[in-house]
Amino acid sequence: MTYIAKPKFHHPGLKKNELGYTHRDYEGKISTLCAGCGHDSITASIIEACYELSIEPHRVAKISGIGCSSKTPDYFLGNSHGFNSVHGRMPSVLTGANLANRDLIYLGVSGDGDSASIGFGQFAHSIRRGVNMTYIVENNGVYGLTKGQFSATADRGSKSKKGVTNTDNAIDLVAIALQLGATFVARSFSGDKTQLVPLIAAAIRHKGASFIDVISPCIAFNNHAGSTKSFDYVREHNDAVNRLDVLVGRDPIAVDYAPGTVQMVEQHDGSKIALRKIDADYDPHDRLGAQTFLARHAAKGQIVTGLLYVDPDAEDMHAHLNTVETPLNTLEADTLCPGSAALDKFNASLR
């Protein structure tokens, strides 16, 4: 199989965003995933979020590991550099890329096999370090490209397509991300674009480690009765704590909300998140409360979605390392090399 060209023409009246880009400017190549794959909905949501935020498409770096989800960065933001790296190693590649140029937007796309199994360590450590990124796991509980083996996020007791029952405990990446200090943590469902698009947008505007676990049913291998990652199961058990709108450069007063139902969160870059509460008691600034809430609901078989935790004043890895504002990849010999006079002094100290 080889590359399929996507026609470039579009309707002349296509809507443009603040920068004059159309929706099409954020698209990529034609997806090669199965028809109806949840991942394609996430791709569409990423496109939508970037369009809404009026991001310059080429200022995004898309980095992935290996697997069905990791193929998707080819299907959005065609004018961005993408890197389909090594299985489970997206986080380290992204960390390095971010160190080299702090001015780009980093979008890490991974899957449950990629992040919860082979790359569990890298997932954990990139979160720990506070890498400024949006880390999306397209979570279907199954290995798709190798045809249907359980992944580490498959729930205990769930059944594979072949009828095998999973006896291992599941890893909840959201719980782990909270524990490791991620400063933006969310869960959503690929079938719920109205919730997912603003979550992705808010995560991109967040300065720090943003993590979104997106339950994304696998049409081919994990959409049957007995699966806890099927469309039907997720719809029935989805427990959304909030829905949100991301407001960039818009007057929040212009948005009409019923009093007492909305919590405004201002992020470090000045953008605002309007959180429409569904669960009145849920506080997305309470890390410990979020952990308890998640555990309690997971025990009941519910899938909690929404913006689960955000620290609007988060610091990122560059702040920890005290690196210069200028991207390191633009520094040249005149600023990096101490020169011969310094070397002569160094030599003199070694005699």
Interface stretch with another protein, choices 76-84, 179-187, 217-225, 229-237 (CB under 8 A): 76-84
Tokens of 55: 């991001």
Tokens of 241: 């704590």
How far lies 176's CA from each of 61, 128, 173, 286, in Å?
25, 11, 5, 15
Question: 102 or 272: whose CB is closer to another protein?
Answer: 102
Q: How far is the CB of 236 from another protein (least distance, A)?
A: 37
Which listed residue (94, 142, 209, 262) binds another protein by CB under 8 A? Answer: 94
Told to check if 14 binds another protein by CB under 8 A, we report no
For residue 231, give the H/E element and its range: helix 231-237
Question: 156 or 345: whose CB is closer to another protein?
Answer: 345
SS3 state of residue 343: helix
Which listed residue (44, 49, 63, 303) binds another protein by CB under 8 A? Answer: 63
- Touching another protein, residues 289-328 (CB under 8 A): 318, 321-325, 328
Pairing state of beta strands 105-111 and 133-139?
Answer: parallel
Q: Which residues on adjacent β-strands are paired with residue 22?
A: 16
Pairing state of beta strands 184-189 and 303-310?
Answer: antiparallel
Q: What is the strand order of the sheet 242-247 is part of?
A: 242-247, 272-277, 262-266
Q: How far is the CB of 97 from another protein (least distance, A)?
A: 4
Which listed residue (41, 85, 158, 230) binds another protein by CB under 8 A? Answer: 85
How far lies 319's CA from each of 96, 104, 147, 289, in Å?
15, 16, 43, 27
Query: How many other β-carbons are positioned within 10 Å of the β-carbon of residue 254?
Result: 7
Tokens of 43: 């791709």
Question: 127 or 310: whose CB is closer to another protein?
Answer: 127
Q: Binding string, 15-54, against another protein, x = CB under 8 A? A: --------------x-------------------------
Which listed residue (44, 47, 55, 104) binds another protein by CB under 8 A? Answer: 104
Told to check if 208 binds another protein by CB under 8 A, we report no
Told to check if 10 binds another protein by CB under 8 A, we report no
Question: 127 or 154: whose CB is closer to another protein?
Answer: 127
Rounded distance between C-alpha atoms, residue 251 and residue 135, angstroms: 29
Told to check if 336 binds another protein by CB under 8 A, we report yes
C-beta separation of 84 from 66 below 8 A: yes
Q: How far is the CB of 242 from another protein (least distance, A)?
A: 33
Q: Which residues contact 92 (CB under 8 A, 6 or more apart)?
A: 122, 126
Interface stretch with another protein, choices 175-183, 212-220, 271-279, 332-340 (CB under 8 A): 332-340
Rounded distance between C-alpha atoms, residue 60 and residue 11, angstroms: 25
For residue 246, give the H/E element and its range: strand 242-247
Told to check if 99 binds another protein by CB under 8 A, we report yes
The residues binding another protein (CB under 8 A) are 1-3, 29, 56-59, 61, 63, 73-74, 78-86, 89, 91-101, 103-104, 121-122, 124-125, 129, 318, 321-325, 328-333, 335-340, 342-344, 346-347, 350-351
